Amino acid sequence: IEGTGIGLAITRRLTELIRLASEQAVMHGKEVGIEVAADGYRFLVLQNRRWQPVSDEPEFRARSLETPLELNIALDADAKELFGQALTRKREDEDEEPGNKGAQSTAATEDEEKVDAPRPQIFILSSGEISPFALGLGYEEGEQPRYWRIRASDDGQVRLDGPFEGS
Protein backbone atom coordinates (compact mmCIF):
# COMPACT_ATOMS: atom_id res chain seq x y z
CA ILE A 1 0.00 0.00 0.00
CA GLU A 2 1.53 3.26 -1.10
CA GLY A 3 0.76 6.42 0.82
CA THR A 4 -2.68 7.16 2.17
CA GLY A 5 -4.43 6.94 -1.22
CA ILE A 6 -5.69 3.35 -1.09
CA GLY A 7 -6.78 3.49 2.56
CA LEU A 8 -8.64 6.74 1.97
CA ALA A 9 -10.27 5.40 -1.22
CA ILE A 10 -11.50 2.24 0.53
CA THR A 11 -12.80 4.21 3.50
CA ARG A 12 -14.62 6.70 1.26
CA ARG A 13 -16.16 3.86 -0.75
CA LEU A 14 -17.40 2.12 2.41
CA THR A 15 -18.81 5.41 3.75
CA GLU A 16 -20.72 6.02 0.51
CA LEU A 17 -21.95 2.42 0.39
CA ILE A 18 -23.37 2.77 3.91
CA ARG A 19 -25.12 6.00 2.89
CA LEU A 20 -26.47 4.37 -0.27
CA ALA A 21 -27.67 1.31 1.68
CA SER A 22 -29.50 3.64 4.06
CA GLU A 23 -31.22 5.47 1.20
CA GLN A 24 -32.22 2.21 -0.46
CA ALA A 25 -33.49 0.71 2.80
CA VAL A 26 -35.87 3.65 3.15
CA MET A 27 -36.89 3.73 -0.53
CA HIS A 28 -37.52 -0.02 -0.76
CA GLY A 29 -38.78 -0.59 2.80
CA LYS A 30 -36.18 -3.23 3.62
CA GLU A 31 -33.89 -3.89 6.57
CA VAL A 32 -30.17 -3.98 5.79
CA GLY A 33 -27.28 -5.24 7.88
CA ILE A 34 -23.51 -5.08 7.60
CA GLU A 35 -21.31 -7.92 8.78
CA VAL A 36 -17.79 -6.75 9.61
CA ALA A 37 -14.60 -8.79 9.97
CA ALA A 38 -11.00 -7.66 10.36
CA ASP A 39 -10.33 -8.56 6.73
CA GLY A 40 -13.53 -7.35 5.05
CA TYR A 41 -17.24 -6.69 5.14
CA ARG A 42 -20.49 -7.64 3.46
CA PHE A 43 -23.98 -6.21 3.19
CA LEU A 44 -26.97 -8.33 4.17
CA VAL A 45 -30.72 -7.95 3.70
CA LEU A 46 -33.46 -9.38 5.90
CA GLN A 47 -35.54 -11.77 3.75
CA ASN A 48 -38.04 -14.28 5.05
CA ARG A 49 -36.90 -13.63 8.63
CA ARG A 50 -33.26 -14.43 7.80
CA TRP A 51 -30.22 -12.36 6.96
CA GLN A 52 -29.02 -13.08 3.45
CA PRO A 53 -26.02 -11.67 1.56
CA VAL A 54 -27.06 -9.06 -0.99
CA SER A 55 -26.74 -10.84 -4.33
CA ASP A 56 -28.70 -8.75 -6.80
CA GLU A 57 -26.78 -5.47 -6.46
CA PRO A 58 -23.08 -5.66 -7.39
CA GLU A 59 -22.15 -2.49 -5.50
CA PHE A 60 -23.07 -4.28 -2.26
CA ARG A 61 -20.99 -7.40 -2.92
CA ALA A 62 -18.76 -8.79 -0.19
CA ARG A 63 -15.34 -7.13 -0.11
CA SER A 64 -12.05 -8.33 1.27
CA LEU A 65 -9.27 -6.05 2.44
CA GLU A 66 -5.70 -6.61 1.43
CA THR A 67 -3.01 -6.96 4.06
CA PRO A 68 -1.96 -4.79 5.89
CA LEU A 69 -5.38 -3.06 5.91
CA GLU A 70 -7.54 -4.00 8.86
CA LEU A 71 -11.10 -3.14 9.85
CA ASN A 72 -12.44 -2.96 13.39
CA ILE A 73 -15.78 -2.00 14.85
CA ALA A 74 -17.09 -0.44 18.05
CA LEU A 75 -20.81 -0.64 18.76
CA ASP A 76 -23.08 1.18 21.15
CA ALA A 77 -24.27 -1.82 23.20
CA ASP A 78 -27.58 -0.19 24.17
CA ALA A 79 -28.35 0.65 20.55
CA LYS A 80 -27.48 -2.87 19.39
CA GLU A 81 -29.96 -4.30 21.91
CA LEU A 82 -32.64 -1.78 20.92
CA PHE A 83 -32.25 -2.42 17.18
CA GLY A 84 -32.17 -6.17 17.77
CA GLN A 85 -35.48 -5.91 19.64
CA ALA A 86 -37.02 -3.87 16.80
CA LEU A 87 -36.03 -6.53 14.27
CA THR A 88 -37.35 -9.29 16.54
CA ARG A 89 -40.72 -7.51 16.72
CA LYS A 90 -40.76 -7.19 12.92
CA ARG A 91 -40.12 -10.94 12.59
CA GLU A 92 -42.91 -11.70 15.09
CA ASP A 93 -45.30 -9.48 13.12
CA GLU A 94 -44.40 -11.38 9.94
CA ASP A 95 -45.14 -14.67 11.72
CA GLU A 96 -48.64 -13.48 12.58
CA GLU A 97 -49.51 -12.58 8.98
CA PRO A 98 -52.15 -14.89 7.47
CA GLY A 99 -50.72 -17.64 5.30
CA ASN A 100 -47.19 -17.25 6.64
CA LYS A 101 -45.72 -20.73 6.83
CA GLY A 102 -42.23 -19.52 7.79
CA ALA A 103 -43.03 -19.90 11.46
CA GLN A 104 -43.65 -23.63 11.01
CA SER A 105 -39.98 -24.60 10.59
CA THR A 106 -38.68 -27.48 12.62
CA ALA A 107 -36.42 -26.76 15.56
CA ALA A 108 -33.62 -28.90 14.12
CA THR A 109 -33.61 -26.95 10.84
CA GLU A 110 -33.58 -23.63 12.70
CA ASP A 111 -30.64 -24.75 14.86
CA GLU A 112 -28.64 -25.79 11.77
CA GLU A 113 -29.35 -22.48 10.07
CA LYS A 114 -28.30 -20.46 13.14
CA VAL A 115 -24.81 -21.96 13.04
CA ASP A 116 -24.12 -20.74 9.48
CA ALA A 117 -26.37 -17.68 9.54
CA PRO A 118 -24.84 -14.30 8.73
CA ARG A 119 -24.70 -12.04 11.77
CA PRO A 120 -24.72 -8.31 11.06
CA GLN A 121 -23.26 -5.99 13.66
CA ILE A 122 -24.67 -2.87 12.00
CA PHE A 123 -28.38 -2.46 11.33
CA ILE A 124 -29.84 -0.03 8.78
CA LEU A 125 -33.60 0.14 9.16
CA SER A 126 -36.27 1.05 6.63
CA SER A 127 -37.23 3.89 8.97
CA GLY A 128 -33.89 5.60 8.19
CA GLU A 129 -32.33 4.75 11.54
CA ILE A 130 -28.86 3.23 11.78
CA SER A 131 -27.49 1.47 14.83
CA PRO A 132 -24.70 3.72 16.18
CA PHE A 133 -21.22 2.46 15.40
CA ALA A 134 -17.65 3.47 14.72
CA LEU A 135 -15.64 1.60 12.09
CA GLY A 136 -11.90 2.01 12.00
CA LEU A 137 -9.91 1.16 8.89
CA GLY A 138 -6.16 1.36 9.19
CA TYR A 139 -2.72 0.08 8.44
CA GLU A 140 0.86 0.61 9.48
CA GLU A 141 3.01 2.51 7.03
CA GLY A 142 6.59 2.10 8.14
CA GLU A 143 6.62 2.92 11.84
CA GLN A 144 3.58 5.22 11.66
CA PRO A 145 0.12 3.66 11.88
CA ARG A 146 -2.55 5.50 9.90
CA TYR A 147 -6.29 5.05 10.19
CA TRP A 148 -9.70 6.52 9.34
CA ARG A 149 -12.95 6.34 11.23
CA ILE A 150 -16.52 6.05 9.91
CA ARG A 151 -19.13 6.95 12.49
CA ALA A 152 -22.91 6.68 12.41
CA SER A 153 -25.48 8.05 14.80
CA ASP A 154 -28.94 6.58 15.31
CA ASP A 155 -30.50 9.44 13.30
CA GLY A 156 -28.85 8.07 10.14
CA GLN A 157 -25.94 10.50 9.86
CA VAL A 158 -22.74 8.88 8.60
CA ARG A 159 -19.40 10.71 8.87
CA LEU A 160 -15.85 10.02 7.77
CA ASP A 161 -12.98 11.29 9.94
CA GLY A 162 -9.24 11.11 9.40
CA PRO A 163 -6.62 10.23 8.54
CA PHE A 164 -5.23 9.92 12.03
CA GLU A 165 -1.66 8.98 12.80
CA GLY A 166 -0.19 7.27 15.80
CA SER A 167 -0.94 4.28 17.91
CA 132/CA 47 separation, integer angstroms = 23
CA-to-CA separations, 12 to 17, 86, 90, 148, in angstroms, rounded = 9, 29, 32, 9
Residue 68 has pLDDT above 60, yes or no: yes
DSSP-derived secondary structure for 83-96: HHHHHHHHHHHHHH
Supply the pLDDT for residue 166.
Answer: 66
- The residue-averaged pLDDT of 121-149 equals 88
* pLDDT tier for residue 3 given thresholds of 50, 70 and 90: very low
Nearest to 125 by CA among 102, 105, 155, 159: 155
pLDDT in tens, 80-119: 555 555 555 555 555 555 555 444 444 445 555 555 678 9
* pLDDT tier for residue 165 given thresholds of 50, 70 and 90: confident
Q: What is the average pLDDT value for the chain, to the nearest integer?
A: 80
Other C-beta atoms lying within 10 Å of the C-beta of residue 33:
26
Residue positions counted in the chain: 167
pTM of the model: 0.77
27-41, 60-74, 109-123 — which one is most confidently predicted on average?
27-41
